[in-house]
Amino acid sequence: MGATGASLKDVVTRLRAINDALPSDDGAAVFNRMYLTVTEQVAAALTGAQVFRNPAFMEHLDATFAALWFETYDAPGDAVPNAWAPLFEHRHNRSLLPIQFALAGMNSHIGHDLPVAVVRTCRELSASPDDAGVREDYEAVNDLLAACESEVRRSFLNDVGQVVNEQVGPVVHLISSWNIDKAREVAWVNAEALWTMRSIGFLADRYEAALAGTVGMASRYLLTPALAS
């Protein structure tokens, strides 16, 4: 159960509802579809073979993590968090490719929301990032995410006919520079930093705000226009 009492079943239900409510070419919908796929895979891992040392912790973490996406999605336009602002500003920009929306969303969610979710989950479950199995379970998700990211990239190549021309070539280079494993490694370090600063409220708040701004800047780069509008 997550911070709001949601289970992964609840999370999947909400993600599907968002999909149904949005046109498929909406940038938020592109990210949401990919996030739904990943969440369904994690839910299957939690109910199948023993992939995680502490399944209860992982379900709580994943529900808390998803809640941050839902808070962003539900926020009025002028209250969208800084880490997510570029995606929501450009979600209807037809000069952007679906892969750009997908990776920008992943960058915002992993870069900012994931460390925040780790800290919240540890607080709520009286746990610590240093506890046995917490880091191990965190890393066990990497293979699932890497497979999903790989599929998104393959779909992108299919969409452009596997031809890298002068128009999309620079964007291919840009998106190829973003790596999910590296993003999650950095997110873990930021979770450790926020956890260490948790008793110094003003410093933790400033650090999180700076993190949101930096993550948002990277997402804006990932949303560099690729096509003629």
pTM score, whole prediction: 0.90
Evaluate whether 146 touches 196 at the Cβ level (below 8 Å).
no
CB count within 10 Å of CB 77 equals: 8
Evaluate whether 110 touches 69 at the Cβ level (below 8 Å).
no
Could you give the number of structural domains in the chain?
A: 1
Backbone angles phi, psi at 199, to 5 degrees: -85, -5
1 lies in some domain: no
- pLDDT at 199 > cutoff 60: yes
Percent of the chain topping pLDDT 70: 86
pLDDT in tens, 110-156: 999 999 999 999 999 999 999 988 999 999 888 777 777 777 767 76
pLDDT in tens, 145-190: 777 777 776 776 666 554 445 556 666 667 778 888 899 999 999 9
d(CA 43, CA 146): 16
- Amino acid at site 72: T
**Is 81 in a helix, a strand, or coil?**
coil
CB count within 10 Å of CB 114 equals: 23
Residue 174: predicted pLDDT: 73
- Amino acid at site 122: C
3 lies in some domain: no
CA-nearest of 146, 141, 110, 138 to 219 is 110
Residue 155 belongs to what domain range?
Answer: 8-222
146 lies in some domain: yes
229 lies in some domain: no
The mean pLDDT of the chain is 88
2 lies in some domain: no
Confidence of residue 41 (pLDDT cuts 50, 70, 90): confident
180 lies in some domain: yes
228 lies in some domain: no
Confidence of residue 20 (pLDDT cuts 50, 70, 90): very high
